Homo-oligomer: A and B are copies of this chain.
């Protein structure tokens, strides 16, 4: 190994080890840790975050990076090492302008805020969450202002943390298309599907059986239980320590069959991505998913394009019926397909159907844009939320629990993340349109050959981790950069076939 890189490796190792510890603490707080622990544990998270910051933001690392960019050194490096240094430069640039004490204080705040949000959500008490949210927004604004390039908008700084290839200009264009193309189409679909009976979905479904069936589903799509575990948490999520330790969570509602099933397929999609990342890059700076948009493209690809596809259910729907004979024996597969795809204007993002989903994202995108381009009174955000739901979805949340408190993201400081879900859905559709050209996609699903699907995604997307951006992955795979038209067309075609013919 190049001697200079070897020296850098020690810093990278420390950074990686501290990162592993912080991820595990985060996972543990969300899934298991006792309630009274939060405050004291958060202090430790603050200290470890400071350590992690210092592990790479220091003069030695800056000097080593500089040396390694000299041609005589650079030419000795492997491709992975080059990618790691580029990512390190990017992270360095993101962090170096933030004072370490503020970074630490923010990390400590973030480690406590999820518990406070949970409490507020449980008790429908937005007021209790306001002081924390105010602090988080203030930190995010301050950090973005340290980091922004000349003339750059604060919100663009945040957006690009999750998706390098995007900014407000591109997203405005994307959401404009959704508004003009999809909103009228949604109305038509809803009108024509209003008589479909989905009451079967809300019968009683034994949570233990749900859990078992969801484990089956995870394994069926390719989740490797030797390298991963499934736990429970209020809000399903995926995390990983490396490519052989990938964790997802799920939740079970007795009176909702779909919720847990599509959650496990969604998180399973994230997990398969992380499990397929190459051994040569896991536990390095480029060993995660390419971006949040690409990550969500995989989870929403599995959830919707695979999981809400008739061909996917053909070989396994009988098994689902056998699991719940009383509830499903009279429900045909065609009826079930119309049920799991049914579009409805609703309150909760994570329970939304594929078609109206981007409208939920639109609300959050517009709110975030507003928060980061003007002074907002955080006390009023719940009302603004409700007005936007009324405007775009025609429904008004009866409580803040079903409104602004429904998602964990802002409590975690993840502003700029939400748009990734819509972008991800669009990337997924673009990949799907290409895959159908090069493989018998639905035939593979019908034959249960899930490894053909995951094999393609591994070869073209997963294995590269962060070594390619979203647009590079799309270009190299499909020959074309991001193009939202595929998404619009995919939705129109699918929903026309299901409900308008």
Binding site for B on A (CB under 8 A): 13-14, 16-18, 20-21, 24-25, 28, 32-37, 39-41, 43-44, 47-48, 51, 224-229, 231, 241-246, 282-283
B residues in contact with A35, CB < 8 Å: 226
> In the complex the two chains form, what is the Cα distance from A40 to B17 in whole Å?
11
Which residues of B have CB within 8 Å of A37? 227, 241-242, 244-245
A211 to chain B, nearest CB (A): 14
* A40 and B242 form a contact (CB under 8 A): yes
**In the complex, chain B residues whose CB is within 8 Å of the CB of A21:** 18, 21, 24-25, 44, 48
Can you add 11 more A-B contacts, CB < 8 Å, to A24-B28, A41-B245? Answer: A14-B47, A18-B48, A20-B25, A24-B24, A34-B225, A34-B227, A34-B228, A36-B224, A37-B242, A40-B243, A51-B51
Residues from chain B with Cβ under 8 Å of A43 in the complex: 283
Which has the most chain B C-beta neighbours within 10 Å: A24, A225, A245?
Answer: A245
Q: Which B residues are CB-close (under 8 A) to A228?
A: 34
Interchain CB contact under 8 A, A48 and B17: yes
Q: Are B282 and A32 in touch, CB under 8 angstroms?
A: no
15 contacts between A and B (CB under 8 A): A13-B47, A18-B48, A20-B25, A21-B24, A24-B28, A32-B229, A32-B231, A33-B229, A36-B224, A36-B227, A37-B245, A41-B241, A43-B283, A44-B241, A51-B51
In order of increasing CB-CB distance, the 4 nearest A-B pairs are A37-B245, A21-B21, A17-B47, A36-B244
Chain B: minimal CB distance from A39 (Å): 8
User: Out of B24, B36, B41, B229, which one reaches A25, CB within 8 Å?
Assistant: B24
Contact: A40 with B282, CB < 8 Å? Answer: yes
Closest to A244 in B: B36
Cβ of A231: which chain B residues have Cβ within 8 Å of it? 32
A44 to B23, CA, bound (A): 12
* Contact call B20/A41, Cβ cutoff below 8 A: yes
CA distance A245 to B41 in the complex (A): 8
Return chain B residues, CB-CB under 8 Å to A24: 21, 24-25, 28
If A14-B51, A28-B28, A51-B14 touch, does A20 touch B34 (CB 8 Å cutoff)?
no
Q: Is the CB of B47 within 8 A of A245?
A: no
Nearest residue, chain B, Cβ from A283 = B40
Given A24-B25, A227-B37, A245-B37, A44–B16 Cβ distance below 8 Å? yes
